[in-house]
Amino acid sequence: MTKSRLTRRGVLRTGAAMGGVLATPTLFTGAAWAQDSGFTNAPTGSTVTLGFNVPQTGPYADEGADELRAFELAVEHLNGEGDGGMLQTFSSDALEGGGILGKKVEYVTGDTQTKSDAARASARSMIEKDGAVMISGGSSSGVAVAVQGLCQEAGVIFMAGLTHSNDTTGKDKKANGFRHFFNAYMSAQAMAPVLEGLYGSDRKAYHLTADYTWGWTQQESIQAATEALGWETVNNVLTPLAATDFSSYIAPVLNSGADVLVLNHYGGNMVNSLTNAVQFGLKEATANGKDFQIVVPLYSELMARGAGENIAGIPGSQNWDWKIENQLGDRYKGTNAFVQSFGEKYGFPPSQAAHTCYAQTILYADAVQRAGSFNPCAVAEALEGYEFDGLGNGPTLYRASDHQCFKDVVVVRGKENPENEFDLVEIVEATPAEKVTYDPEHEMFAGGNLGECNPGA
Amino acid sequence: MDAILLQILNGLDKGSAYALIALGLTLIFGTLGVVNFAHGALFMIGAFCAVTLQRILTISYETVDDSRTDFLGNPMTVETPYVQAWFGPETGATIIDWSVPLAILFAIPIMLLVGFVMERGLIKHFYKRPHADQILVTFGLAIVLQEIIKYFYGANPIPTPAPDVFSGSFDFGVLLGFDPGAIIYPYWRLVYFVFAMAVISGVFAFLQFTTFGMVVRAGMADRETVGLLGIDIDKRFTIMFGIAAGVAGLAGVMYTPINAPNYHMGMDFLVLSFVVVVVGGMGSLPGAVLAGFLLGILESFASMTAVIDLIPGINQIIIYLVAIIVLLTRPRGLMGRKGVMEE
C-alpha cells in the first residue's frame, strides 16, 4: 500500500515553493542614468531612438499589438514614408517627414505584461541599454503611473498610452509625463447628460468596480456625476482584478432595489461581467417599474468584440472612434486620414488605443521639432499649454498645470444590428471639451504635484 | 433565504467546473503519481475546441456587394458560411447556433489524442523524477500550450454563445414559491450542472462496474502487486490519462458560453483545482468531487455583500482559508485514506 517516491507533504512543499518562485518580481539593478550631454540619452548620431512599452503578453496583449501597429505607422510617417497619415491634417507644420530634427526615427519595444514591475523593468532597459529618449504606450493605469514615475527619475519624457484613471494626471502626475487619453472624470461628465436623457433622473444604481486605481476613480467619478442628476447609489461592490466569473456578484443585483447596473470594469473583467449580467437576464428584467439598464463607463472596440452581441444597446464613452469624422463632420478631421493609412496597412480600422498612441508619438516629435531640442525640459515646455487640431479629436489643449489633454469625449452605445465585425458601436454624441473640463485642484485630482522637470544628467 | 439559495445555485456551476477538473487531476495523480500542472491547459484546449469548431462551421466564401462599402470606402465583401450554402440558410444557421454542443463530439477525439501525446511524449519520461521536476515540466508545458493558443487565437476573449434555446434565464424562485424575480438562473448553467453530473457519474460507473475500471482501481491501490499478476498497468494508466484529459476538455467545451474563453482561463482554474484536490484528499475521486462543489459554493457565499461587509476581502481568500483549516484538522483531506501517497 505504499509508494515511496510520492508523498502528500512533498507535493505540497514543491507546490508552495513553485508558487513562491513565480511570485518573485523581476529585480533589476540600477545603473547610472546620466550621460555627458546635458540630458539623459541625448542623441548624438544620425538617429534617435524612441521606446514603445506595450503589453505584448498577458490579458491586454491584443490591445498592445494594436498600439504597436500605430507606433510603427507613426514612425513611418515621421520618417517620410507612406502617405503621411495625420501629419497631413495636423495643425502644426513643424514636421516635414524628415525624421525629428533631421534625425531618422528608430524604435525599440518592451513588454509591460500589464504588470507594474515588469513594465518598469522593460522601460528601464530601453532607457539604459537602448538609449531611448522617450517612452510611450501601455494599456493600464497601474502600469502608466509606475512607468511615469520611473521616467521622471530617469529624466526622459513619458507619453502615456491608454490610461484612464484620474490619478495619472491627478495625484500621481509628474512633470515629465503627458496624457493624451481622457480620464474617468471626463467619462462621467460626458455620460451623465446622456444617461439622464436615456433613463431619466430617478434611478437607483448598483456598482461593480475593479479593485485597483482605475476602478476606484472611475466609480467615484460616475457616482458623483449620476448623483448630481438625482440618481441614488444603492451599493458599490469591489471585485478582484483576477476574477473571471462574476455570477456571484451579479446574482444579488436584481433583488437589491437597483434598476441600473454600472460596470466599472475593463478588459476581460468587463467582457465577463457583462456576459454574466446578460445571462442572468438583467437586460430583460424590470425593477422599480422600469426597464433594468446596464452602463459601461469606459468602452473599447476590442472589448466590444469580446462581449459579442451582449454589448447591444449599452452606453459607454470613448476617447475617439474611427467613424467620428464621417458621422460628425469636419471638426474631427485627421480621423479619416489615420483610418485610411492604418486600414490600408493592416486591413482593419484602428482602435482608440492605437489612435492615442499614434497621436502621442506625433505630438512628441512635433514638440521636439518646435523646441529645437530633445532635452525633456524643452520638450515639456513646448507641450505645456499647447493648442492643436487635426489629430482626430477636434481642437485640443495640452493643459500646462497637469499635462492632461482636453478635447471632446465620444459617448457611444453598442450597436443593435452591426453590419460587420468592426461596426460594433454607434456614436450617440460628442460632448464638447468645455463640458468635461475641470479645475486642476478639483477634489478628485488634488494631492498631486507635477514637481520640476527632470532632464536626467 | 432566497439570497442563500441563489448563491448555492451559483456555487453549483462553478463547483461543477472545479469538480470536473479536480476529478481529472486526481485521476492522473492517483494512477500515474504525477502532479499535472498542465491540467488547466487541457481545460483551456477543450474550450478552444469549441471555438475552433465554431470557426470551422463559419468558414465562408466571399462575394463583393457593390451596393455597400466597407470602412475604407471600397466595395463591401460579404461573407456567407459554406454550411449555409450547402444546407440552406436556416439549417445552416441552426448548425452554427448549436456549435458548442456539437463541439463535444469534436473535442472527444482531439482531447484523447492530446492526452495520449502528452503522456507518451513527455510526462512518461518524468515518472521516476522528483516531484519538483514533474511540476516544473508540466507547468512549463502549460505555458507553452497557452502561448500556442494565444498565437493562433489572440489574447482577447472570444464569444462562444450557447444555442438560442438555452440563452436566456428562467425564474427558479417561482417554482419554489418565492416572489417572481427572486431567483433568476441562466438555463445554460443548469445545463452545465446536469452535464457535469452526467460526466462524473460516467467516470465513476466506468471505474466501478467495468473490468478495466477494476484493474485501474487495483493499480491505484497497489501498482506493484497488479504488475506482478502479469497485468500491463502502465498501458491502462495511459488510457486513464487520456480519459482525464477528455473530462477536462469537455468541462472546457461546455464552459465557453458561461465565460468567453481566452488563453489564460486554464491557469485561472488550475490553482483552485489543485487546492480542491488537496482538500478532497489526494487520490480520492469522491473527495475531489465533494470538495469541488463544497469550495464552489463557499466561494459564492463569500462573495455575498453581507458577508464581505462582515469580513472584508473574504471572497478572495476563502478557498485557501478552508484549505488551511482542512489540512490542520484533517491532514489527509476530507476523504483521503491512511496509507495512500504516504511513506
**Contact criterion met (CB below 8 Å) for A390 and A86:** yes
pLDDT at residue B274, rounded to an integer: 86
Quick check: is A189 in a domain? yes
Report the share of chain B in percent with pLDDT over 90: 40
Mind giving me the DSSP string for A142-211?
Answer: HHHHHHHHHHHHHT-EEEE-S---GGGGTTT--TTEEE-S--HHHHHHHHHHHHHHHH-S--EEEEEEES
What's the mean pLDDT in A3-28? Answer: 53
Beta strand ranges found along A245-314 (DSSP E) = 260-264, 286-287, 290-291, 293-295
Quick check: is B307 in a domain? yes
Type of residue at B145: L
Task: Note whether A3 contacts B274, CB cutoff 8 Å.
Answer: no
Quick check: is A441 in a domain? no
Q: ipTM for the complex?
A: 0.79
Quick check: is A223 in a domain? yes
Quick check: is B86 in a domain? no
B140 touches chain A (CB under 8 A): no
Query: Which has more pLDDT, A36 or A385?
Result: A385
| Closest in A251, A309, A339 to B7, CB measured | A251
Residue A234 has what DSSP assignment? E
pLDDT higher than 70, residue A7: no
**What is the pairing mode between strands A290-291 and A286-287?**
antiparallel
Domain residues for A206?
185-318
Separation between Cα atoms, residue A201 and residue A45, nearest integer Å:
61
Mind giving me the DSSP string for B234-271?
Answer: HHHHHHHHHHHHHHHHHHHHHHTTTS---TTHHHHHHH
A-chain residues near B139 (CB < 8 A): 18
Interhelix angle B39-57/B2-32, rounded to 10 degrees, is 110
pLDDT higher than 50, residue A3: no
Could you report the per-residue pLDDT of B61-92, keeping only the tens digit for each?
Answer: 888 888 877 778 788 888 888 888 899 888 98
Quick check: is A432 in a domain? no
**Contact criterion met (CB below 8 Å) for A454 and A427:** no
Quick check: is B148 in a domain? yes
Separation between Cα atoms, residue B150 and residue B264, nearest integer Å:
9
When divided into structural domains, chain B yields a total of: 1
Quick check: is B320 in a domain? yes
When divided into structural domains, chain A yields a total of: 2
Bridge partner residues of A103 (DSSP): A100
pLDDT at residue A445, rounded to an integer: 94
Question: Which CATH number do you get for residue A252?
Answer: 3.40.50.2300
Separation between Cα atoms, residue B182 and residue B180, nearest integer Å:
6
pLDDT at residue B340, rounded to an integer: 58
CB count within 10 Å of CB B225 equals 13
Q: What part of B 186-205 touches A (C-beta under 8 Å)?
A: 186, 188-189
Quick check: is B336 in a domain? no
Q: Same domain for A65 and A134?
A: yes
Quick check: is B338 in a domain? no
Q: Same domain for A161 and A199?
A: no
Separation between Cα atoms, residue A282 and residue A39, nearest integer Å:
56
Quick check: is B280 in a domain? yes
Closest residue on chain A to B152 (Cα): A62
pLDDT band per the 50, 70, 90 thresholds, residue A8 = low
pLDDT band per the 50, 70, 90 thresholds, residue A32 = very low
Q: Same domain for A117 and A163?
A: yes
Q: Same domain for A196 and A307?
A: yes
Beta strand ranges found along chain B (DSSP E) = 60-69, 75-81, 169-171, 184-186
A-chain residues near B128 (CB < 8 A): 5
Q: Same domain for A282 and A356?
A: no
pLDDT higher than 90, residue B31: no
pLDDT higher than 90, residue A297: yes
Could you report the per-residue pLDDT of B253-262, keeping only the tens digit for each?
Answer: 999 998 889 8
Could you report the per-residue pLDDT of A357-414, keeping only the tens digit for each?
Answer: 999 999 999 999 999 999 999 999 999 999 999 999 999 999 999 999 999 999 999 9
Separation between Cα atoms, residue A311 and residue B343, nearest integer Å:
56
pLDDT band per the 50, 70, 90 thresholds, residue B8 = confident
A337 touches chain B (CB under 8 A): no
What integer best gives the mean pLDDT of chain B? 88
Our CA dihedral for A122, A124, A126, A132, rounded to 10 degrees, sits at 140
Question: Which CATH number do you get for residue B169?
Answer: 1.10.3470
Separation between Cα atoms, residue A424 and residue A311, nearest integer Å:
8
Q: Same domain for A79 and A140?
A: yes
Quick check: is B123 in a domain? yes
The C-alpha cell of B83 is what?
A: 454550411
Quick check: is A355 in a domain? yes
Q: Tally A–B CB contacts below 8 A.
A: 165
CA distance B96 to chain A (A): 15
pLDDT at residue B309, rounded to an integer: 80
Domain residues for B250?
2-50+98-329
pLDDT higher than 70, residue B139: yes
Q: Same domain for A155 and A216?
A: no
pLDDT band per the 50, 70, 90 thresholds, residue A236 = very high
pLDDT at residue A15, rounded to an integer: 61
Q: Same domain for A346 and A285?
A: no
End-of-domain residue from the set A402, A433, A449: A402
Quick check: is A439 in a domain? no
Q: Same domain for A51 and A177?
A: yes
pLDDT at residue A31, rounded to an integer: 35
Quick check: is A385 in a domain? yes
Q: Which of A399, A420, A154 is nearest to B72 (CA)?
A: A420
Task: Note whether B268 contacts A271, CB cutoff 8 Å.
Answer: no
pLDDT higher than 70, residue A127: yes
